[in-house]
Amino acid sequence: MLAMSSCLSHCRHHHQVRLHRGAGPDRPWPAAASFATPLRRRAARAHAMSAEAPPGVAPAEPGPGTATQAAILSEMVEDAAVWCAVHGLVVGDRENPRSGTVPGVGLVHAPVSLLPARFPTSFWKQALELAPLFNELVDRVSLDGEFLQESLSRQVLYSVWCSSDIHVELRFRLPPSTIDSQRIVCHAKLVTLNFKRNSVLCYLTKQVDDFTARLLEIHEKMMAINKKEDIRLGLHRSDYMLDSETNSLLQIELNTISTSFPGLGSLVSELHRNLLIQYGKVLGLDSERIPRNWASSQFADALARAWSEYNNDSAVVMMVVQPEERNMKTLAQVEAEGKINTDGTLVVDGRIVSVVYFRAGYSPNDYPSEAEWKARLLMEESSAIKCPSISYHLVGTKKIQQELAKPNVLERFLDNKEDIAKLRKSFAGLWSLDNEEIVKSAIEKPDLFVLKPQREGGGNNIYGHDLRDTLVKLQKEQGESLAAYILMQRIFPKASLTPLVRGGVCFEDLTISELGIYGGYLRNKDKVIVNNPSGYLMRTKVSSSNEGGVATGFAVLDSVYLTDE
């Protein structure tokens, strides 16, 4: 980060300046509170505190501070808050019970860093270059249904000693004999097997966590009817950190559903440009080094072009959201109001839907009843363009990320050796829990690993002693629990002192940052219409926190300041 200390004298990295109590280890900041007008200008008082970088974080570099910069900091906090209010860089206030239910009520500025994060230009260009490659990879992998099914279902061989004669009936599903717009009817074949006493019965079973199993069930039904998705729309985000130990850009994860913050992320870039236009000269910073961020407009353009490809002027784009949001549809509403016409057209509340954009559906909490699952299946069966389709959704799971990192797997989907090398260079170490040696290493040295479940939305990863305890428990339980996690190499980013603003309050802390590059992809049959990087998201969190979700309260929104380092 651009380290502008608010100390009145020179401040080393083991000193912190806090204008307010910040976040502790694995603890989000206090919920944002409405700020008074005019804002109180808070003088920064330095006090010595231990700010040693925690495990997984490289030490920070010292940052100089002056009384002039302290005064500037105070002015910038107020200017930033006003700019956020004027330009819509706001979020709902969780402390206000009417927020989210009454339009315009209970809004506060989004949590932001006061200055952009330093990021080397060479790694920035590398991240942009990877975006269209990951877009194409997602599309290619999504077409291989067998790969998705096999990779996401952990197969286990069981052997049973038969101490007496056993009579077994096995029912195999055959291809569907009857298909219509409402249901699939499958016949089954019954096979009877007899096992004599003192023989061994061996059988394979698939093990997968319940949530992924339900997604796979929908995917399998689409495979059974040979469902074609001629128009394919993907709005992705690939997240990276700079590893200080290897000096390399490593991928954290690839998101294919509900890629958050293209709108607010774009605004933060403009906020920082505006602040540096005003204060950059005295700070020695150039606003032109903040790259333009067109994420919101490029996402909107991709959705509009997908709507155009559907070629029905009366059709609408439908946003599927979580409850208590407005002007959109929840999964339950889609199930209650939706139907599919005989030609495959999706109709919801009497309106033809050309594009379905999922802002919900990535978490088990989004499916509290069978109605939500029926809605998801209904949309998949329709001819509407899904963003993402069930296959794109599955490609974004942690397990597929781990499978793609295995030797020779990328070659299954891509032909260009240079592209394969570029993608593989960004992969961190990834392992399944079937790898006993890696699991043993993770138990012995948990600070070198992250245990990641098949979940999206932040706040789910497991670290340190919790990682060790969870692995020991999973080893004892065996079963489907092992299939619900992967192990990942822990990345060691460099920490920096950063002024952060939340709820109108500014404080300084050691932070690390994570860069997300959005990617837009649109294909109609063999014609690729869109395949490009589509803006970026920078998130910064206190280095003592393992998690990094903005919505979950662990991080703030940020932007990029390109450097020649």
Q: Where in the chain is the domain with CATH 3.40.50.1760?
A: 113-159+204-428+491-563
Interval 288-334: pLDDT, tens: 999 999 999 999 999 999 999 999 999 999 999 988 775 568 999 99
Is residue 540 scored above 70 in pLDDT? yes
What pLDDT, on a 0 to 100 scale, did the predictor assign at position 4?
A: 41
Name every residue whose Cβ is closer than 8 Å to that of residue 341 and which is 6 or more positions away in sequence: 181, 347
Q: Which residues are known binding-site members for Mg(2+)?
A: 253, 255, 456
pLDDT over 90, % of the chain = 63
To the query of whether residue 452 is one of the catalytic residues in this protein, the response is yes
What pLDDT, on a 0 to 100 scale, did the predictor assign at position 16?
A: 32
Interval 222-277: pLDDT, tens: 999 999 999 999 999 999 999 999 999 999 999 999 999 999 999 999 999 999 99
pLDDT band at 345; cut points 50, 70, 90: very high
Q: Which residues are known binding-site members for substrate?
A: 237, 539
To the query of whether residue 539 is one of the catalytic residues in this protein, the response is yes
pLDDT band at 519; cut points 50, 70, 90: very high
> With contact defined as beta carbons under 8 Å apart, do 232 and 389 qualify?
yes
To the query of whether residue 457 is one of the catalytic residues in this protein, the response is yes
- Catalytic residue (one of 5, 135, 238, 260): 260
- Catalytic residue (one of 232, 237, 273, 329): 237
113-159+204-428+491-563 has CATH 3.30.870.10 classification: no
Q: Residue 228, class by beta-carbon neighbours within 10 Å (0-12 exposed, 13-18 middle, 19+ buried)?
A: exposed
- Catalytic residue (one of 255, 266, 426, 544): 255
What pLDDT, on a 0 to 100 scale, did the predictor assign at position 194?
A: 54
**Look-up: residue for tokens 């009497």?**
350
If one counts every other C-beta atom within 10 angstroms of the C-beta of residue 165, the result is 11
- Whether the pTM exceeds 0.85: the reply is no
To the query of whether residue 260 is one of the catalytic residues in this protein, the response is yes
Interval 411-426: pLDDT, tens: 999 999 999 999 999 9
- Catalytic residue (one of 265, 539, 544, 548): 539
Interval 1-48: pLDDT, tens: 444 433 322 232 333 333 443 444 444 443 333 222 233 233 233 222
Q: Which of 130-139, 220-229, 459-468, 489-498 is predicted least confidently?
A: 459-468
Q: Which residues are known binding-site members?
A: 237, 253, 255, 398, 452-461, 463, 488-491, 514, 539, 541, 547
Residue of 339 and 93 predicted with greater confidence: 339
Is residue 205 scored above 80 in pLDDT? no
In this prediction, residues 537-561 reach a mean pLDDT of 80
Is residue 364 scored above 90 in pLDDT? yes
Q: Which residues are known binding-site members for ATP?
A: 253, 398, 452-461, 463, 488-491, 514, 541, 547
Q: Where in the chain is the domain with CATH 3.30.1490.50?
A: 429-490
Q: Where are the alpha helices (DSSP H) in 242-294?
A: 262-283
Is residue 155 scored above 80 in pLDDT? no
If one counts every other C-beta atom within 10 angstroms of the C-beta of residue 58, the result is 17
What pLDDT, on a 0 to 100 scale, did the predictor assign at position 154?
A: 63
Q: Which fold has domain 429-490?
A: Dna Ligase; domain 1 (3.30.1490)
Residue of 20 and 408 predicted with greater confidence: 408
- Catalytic residue (one of 398, 399, 494, 523): 398
